[in-house]
Amino acid sequence: MNKLIPDNEMESRKVTENYEKYVVPSYGRSGIVFVRGKGSYLWDSDGKKYLDFFPGWAVSGIGHCNPNVVDAICRQSEILIHIANNHYHPWQGMLAKKLSDISFGGKVFFCNSGAEANEAAIKLARLYGSKTGRHGIISMENSFHGRTLATVTMTGQPKYSKPFAPLPAGFSHVPFNDFDALRKKVDGNTAAVIIEPIQGEGGINVPDRDYLQQVSSLCRDKDMLLIFDEVQTGFGRTGRFFAYQHFGITPDIMTLAKTLGGGFPVGAMVARKDIADLMIPGTHASTFGGSPLACQACLAVIDTIEKERLLHNVRIMGEYLASKLSWLKQKHPFIRAVKGIGLMLAIEIEGEGSGIVRECTGKGLLINCTHGNILRIMPAITTDKTEIDAAVKILDECLSLYPPTRKTTGCARGDSTGKS
Ligand SMILES: *Cc1c(COP(=O)(O)O)cnc(C)c1O
């Protein structure tokens, strides 16, 4: 197994003991100790193999330890790992150009997580709004934008933000996919609207096509910035590089993370050029952002998506998986709906889903439950029919075993086991 740690430290009892004693207990945990990953598979400390259909909340979106990412990280780590942002290095500009080319031609700010990318977007929106005395940002109920104080305030789920009051001012929320509610909320103070083009943590909610188009026109009419949080939807998850490309519109700002680094911690904000240029020296920074090592990992991810035609794979496998899930829906009457696009899929059930997730985990399949009754299924975009068949077989067995109870409690974020 992993030669970097002595055998006795791999023992699962020792591992969990260290966590209990020394790690801040802010996560619900499955109890499993993972020690190795490859593609869609993970292995635990007992050597048990798991099919991972929710790889790191979409971080390992092109599979665990993708060989191209491993190779890029290994090679770059021998050449140059970090260079401070008061200098140049070749790879940051290359990556920015690439991100610009595959999206809407903007400029890029690099950071290290989704929340930081959204923080950058908030600050840029405030810079933009300050020209006309506006600072308000409207986001959606049930959204998820991160855990820093500003992004958790922007996140439209008070259970995440309330304990941390007083919260930053200038944020308000409206129901998702309800254009009238948004139109009424906009006032002379609104500088920007932020939306996940498909809500992830909120339960894989796909909006109506004309909703996003109406939001886009409203933003243009009122000179407000349209920000898309594509942290979860980006990099092929939906069958296009970015989810906005399904809707015939372009955001002014887009935030990225998760799959972008193939497992390496990165975040990025892409902004329309004229807006991006408001961030003059001194306005924003990240010490680690856009390091040579991070950029090489990202370049390898994008290169892999292009060379291995993974967008095409997502469309084919997405349809295949969705059809299998529809078959499960016919078989198990407590499945209310199959939701999603591409390989960003979910089944909505009647009752509580955490028991099913736990049962699947026991049988070697990792999926996620959000909002109590939405089973999120988001395999690596490199997946194939064999893996999908194996996953659906396990899911079918677990659904048969577990007609869920009626009551819907919520399963907390960070907990795919229902233990918290
Ligand atoms: C995960 C997620 C974030 C937060 O990303 P972190 O890297 O955890 O800060 C923000 N927005 C969306 C849509 C996400 O799914």
- What is the chain's pLDDT, residue by residue, as a tens digit (420 residues)? 455 666 667 788 899 999 999 999 999 999 999 999 999 999 999 999 999 999 999 999 999 999 999 999 999 999 999 999 999 999 999 999 999 999 999 999 999 999 999 999 999 999 999 999 999 999 999 999 999 999 999 999 999 999 999 999 999 999 999 999 999 999 999 999 999 999 999 999 999 999 999 999 999 999 999 999 999 999 999 999 999 999 999 999 999 999 999 999 999 999 999 999 999 999 999 999 999 999 999 999 999 999 999 999 999 999 999 999 999 999 999 999 999 999 999 999 999 999 999 999 999 999 999 999 999 999 999 999 999 999 999 999 999 987 665 444 444 444 333 332
Cβ–Cβ under 8 Å, residues 151 and 145: yes
156 lines ligand 1 (CB under 6 A): no
232 lines ligand 1 (CB under 6 A): yes
Residue 336 corresponds to which tokens in the numbers above?
């209310």
61 lines ligand 1 (CB under 6 A): no
CATH number attached to the domain at 68-307: 3.40.640.10
Return the best residue to mutate from 199, 227, 232 for the ligand 1 pocket (most ligand atoms within 8 A of CB): 232
How is the chain split among helix, strand and coil, in percent rounded to 5? Answer: 40, 20, 40
- State how far Cα 86 lies from the chain centre: 30
The sheet that has 374-377: what strands, in order across it? Answer: 335-341, 344-349, 374-377, 368-370
Cβ–Cβ under 8 Å, residues 346 and 377: yes
> What is the atom index within ligand 1 of the atom nearest the CA of 201?
15
**CATH-assigned architecture of domain 12-66+309-401:** Alpha-Beta Complex (3.90)
Cβ–Cβ under 8 Å, residues 226 and 236: no
Q: What are the domain boundaries of the chain? A: 12-66+309-401, 68-307
Taking the centre of ligand 1 as the mean of its atom positions, its distance from the CA of residue 405, in whole angstroms, is 30
Taking the centre of ligand 1 as the mean of its atom positions, its distance from the CA of residue 116, in whole angstroms, is 9
Taking the centre of ligand 1 as the mean of its atom positions, its distance from the CA of residue 139, in whole angstroms, is 14
Cα 344 from Cα 202, distance rounded (Å): 13
pTM given for the model: 0.94
261 lines ligand 1 (CB under 6 A): no
Taking the centre of ligand 1 as the mean of its atom positions, its distance from the CA of residue 243, in whole angstroms, is 15
Helix (H, G, I), strand (E, B) or coil at 332: coil
Cα 262 from Cα 309, distance rounded (Å): 16
Supply the Cα-derived Rg of the chain in whole angstroms: 21
